Amino acid sequence: MEALDYHAEERRKAEFDVEEMKIVWAGSRQAYEISDRVARLVASDPVFRKDNRTMLSRKDLFKDTLRKAAHAWKRIIELRLSEEEASKLRFFVDQPVFTDLHWGMFIPAIKGQGNEEQQQKWLPMAYKMQIIGCYAQTELGHGSNVQGLETTATFDPETDEFVIHSPTLTSSKWWPGGLGKVSTHALIYARLITDGQDHGVHGFIVQLRSLDDHLPLPGITVGDIGMKFGSGAYNSMDNGVLRFDHVRILRDQMLMGVSQVTREGKFMQSDVPRQLVYGTMVYVRQKIVADASCALSRAVCIATRYSVVRRQFGSHNGGPETQVIDYKTQQSRLFPLLASAYAFRFVGEWLKWLYTDVTQRLQASDFSTLPEVHACTAGLKSVTTSATADAIEECRKLCGGHGYLSSSGLPELFAVYVPACTYEGDNVVLLLQVARFLMKTVSQLGSGKKPVGTIAYMGRSEHLLQCRCEVERAEDWLKPNVILEAFEARAARMSVTCAKNLNNFANQEEGFAQLATDLAEAAVAHVQLIIVSKFIEKLQQDIPGKGVKRQLEILFNVYALSLLHKHLGDFVASGCITPKQGALANEQLRLLYSQVHFDNPSLLLYMVLLLERLLQSTSF
Ligand SMILES: CCCCCCCCCCCCCCCCCCCCCCCC(=O)SCCNC(=O)CCNC(=O)[C@H](O)C(C)(C)COP(=O)(O)OP(=O)(O)OC[C@H]1O[C@@H](n2cnc3c(N)ncnc32)[C@H](O)[C@@H]1OP(=O)(O)O
Ligand SMILES: Cc1cc2nc3c(=O)[nH]c(=O)nc-3n(C[C@H](O)[C@H](O)[C@H](O)COP(=O)(O)OP(=O)(O)OC[C@H]3O[C@@H](n4cnc5c(N)ncnc54)[C@H](O)[C@@H]3O)c2cc1C
């Protein structure tokens, strides 16, 4: 049989409503229709071809990216695409590009941290792309430690200007995407100094290049930092280096939504938390979580198609060999990744809602949910990107030697995706932020302050610290409330244990440093609980379409039980479940794998088929 026949054979046996499943994946019928229409638009346009990307020199790749960006912008204007449609178009073009930073960070930073007048001045030019901006925060010396940035912005009351300066080599801005070759402007982060006093890090808009001839302005040294990991991949982006030699900008180029400097040089802090200066990072982390399921689904799609077509061993009497997807080991490596794609999709949708909610609250001066939103965006960014990067590599191995070929699409997918574990906050650093939030929550448990939202379960910690799982048979693990309680008990117990151990140190900071590994693990347990609980909430919604809900229930169980199996040590050590119950969970997982493949052999393929159009790379 030909490869296509194998696919057709699997598809023929579908037992659920594929059209409805597409809508579940997209989030709504309208979102699905937009996605479908824009996917066709991109696929049929030769300017957006990408089959030659890994063969282009850096220079040609960059020229190709500029051509695509200009053409995309032209099409967006000609077709009057909405913001949602334009974002989809960017997604299907599928190439890191300077416009990501312009639209994804420069504009949101002005919107989030600029005052009314600043927004009116800068946003119209930025929206029309008359100016192109990047987000220049990280320096050669400091990326994670934002408070350690060294670039200075010193107010000069004589001229009503700030003097932007790079005092050391390590203060050179290093990494910003779009900076190296394209940006005319940058949103830079620098230490604000007035009257000799350092007020910490704030955002400033600085013009870098002339709008006439694109040459750097006086006092600006700017360039590209060079080749990055992999061929093609992130090399379409002009990550750059930037130095300032006493560059003067007007006072109103400091973003004044969070703090202000008056004409007299007086520093004034608004009545809002200073952490709002970090608001753009929260916004982008939320976007990165939403994107994780897309990258993951592409990899899973390639690995699944390959696993169906590929045959090795097991021929009887000259008959066909076994499809590799029939091997239990292949299933146990692949199916949890498929389930994770759905889990990340749903938690991404929820995080988008949470972000919209906090934005509305901030506008009404309600800052109460900010710490939780920071913890959720940081934690989910960390867990979903780490899992996705690992999954892409696993999918490469699932395709045997062929997975290592560029034409499989997987090496480039990995090389483009893996920096997501580092940019927008190193994943370990972000987990430690979640851990701080958890430790604070535990320390306040006796104070009468009731934990709400994603930490509401901590309010039941008395029960969770002593509860025992009631599973007696493998099928008991199919009950969502049993799974949820096991995840809650594990997360609560790990956090409470860390908090107790911290008390053994005279100095909290020293304790935090010594127990950092345990704290990061407690943070992972908390974040996995959020993902599991949001999947359950999704299943409680009305999900139309024959068999769709049933398939999602199977995927939920695969997701949760495969995590339980992977982290069995944590679950057993926390005392909620016994080793025997752990073994029953594994037994159930094995049965689920069989169910996915044998009771409903087409399930898997149909699910990945929904994503097929996303997959523009050459596949099998
Ligand atoms: C094809 C062409 C098409 C063209 C047209 C297209 C049109 C439309 C397309 C649209 C496309 C849009 C694409 C969008 C996607 C964008 C993709 C972007 C790609 C990625 C680029 C990457 C960019 C970057 O990497 S930017 C740099 C990021 N840097 C970091 O993340 C640094 C990490 N470090 C930190 O975040 C902090 O310093 C941190 C958290 C480690 C702080 O540590 P520290 O303890 O020093 O903190 P303090 O400053 O002292 O504060 C402590 C206190 O504050 C709380 N806190 C910290 N952070 C936050 C926060 N963010 N929000 C709220 N609160 C915060 C912290 O918890 C502490 O609280 P306490 O209560 O005091 O404990
Ligand atoms: C492709 C790419 C694009 C980027 N785009 C931009 C951009 O547009 N604009 C911008 O401003 N920046 C950008 N960055 C920079 C990025 O945000 C930083 O690299 C990132 O925040 C990590 O900081 P770092 O490089 O200083 O890592 P480091 O902090 O030096 O990390 C090195 C190691 O130290 C560990 N570590 C650090 N601190 C701690 C701690 N407190 N506890 C335990 N372990 C710790 C980390 O886990 C890591 O293992 C980009 C980076 C990449 C790779």
pLDDT digits (tens, 9 = 90+) for 538-555: 999 999 999 999 999 999
- Asked whether the predicted pLDDT for residue 610 surpasses 80, the reply is no
Asked if 176 and 137 count as a contact pair (C-beta separation under 8 A), the reply is yes
Report pLDDT digits (tens) over 434-480.
999 999 999 999 888 899 999 999 999 999 999 999 999 999 999 99
Minimum-distance ligand to the CA of 427? Answer: 2
Active site residue 424: yes
Dump strand ranges (E) for 389-518.
none
- Tokens (6 digits) for 380: 């989910």
Show the domains of the chain with their CATH numbers.
11-106 (1.10.540.10), 131-270 (2.40.110.10), 280-450+484-614 (1.20.140.10)
Instruction: Check residue 6 and give its pLDDT.
Output: 65
Report pLDDT digits (tens) over 377-400.
999 999 999 999 999 999 999 999
Mean pLDDT within 424-428? 98
What whole-number percentage of the chain has pLDDT above 70?
A: 94
What whole-number percentage of the chain has pLDDT above 90?
A: 88
- Which has the higher per-residue pLDDT, 171 or 363? 171
Report pLDDT digits (tens) over 294-308.
999 999 999 999 999
In a 13 Å sphere around the CA of 576, the CA atoms on its Cβ side amount to 26
Residue 597 and residue 329: Cα distance in Å, rounded?
13
Ligand 1 pocket check for 50: Cβ under 6 Å: no
Is residue 577 very low, low, confident or very high in pLDDT (cuts 50, 70, 90)?
very high
- Tokens (6 digits) for 209: 């290049």
CA of 137 relative to ligand 1 center, distance in Å: 10
Residues contacting 620, CB < 8 A, separation 6+: 3, 302, 305, 306, 309, 402, 408
Binding residues: 138, 177
Stated pTM of the model: 0.95
Minimum-distance ligand to the CA of 421? Answer: 2
CA of 424 relative to ligand 2 center, distance in Å: 8
Strand 161-165 to strand 173-174: parallel, antiparallel, or no bridges (unpaired)?
Answer: unpaired
CA of 142 relative to ligand 2 center, distance in Å: 8
Q: Report which protein residue has its CA nearest ligand 1's atom 65.
A: 275
**What separation in angstroms does the CA of 545 have from each of 20, 92, 354?**
5, 27, 27
Residue 296 and residue 388: Cα distance in Å, rounded?
6
Residues contacting 579, CB < 8 A, separation 6+: 572
Residue 526 and residue 520: Cα distance in Å, rounded?
10
Catalytic residue among 10, 20, 372, 424: 424
Closest-lying ligand 2 atom to the alpha carbon of residue 173:
11
Is residue 601 very low, low, confident or very high in pLDDT (cuts 50, 70, 90)?
very low
Report pLDDT digits (tens) over 110-169.
999 999 999 999 999 999 999 999 999 999 999 999 999 999 999 999 999 999 999 999
Site residues for ligand 2, CB cut-off 6 Å = 101, 135-138, 142-144, 175-177, 234, 239, 419, 422-426, 428-429, 432, 516
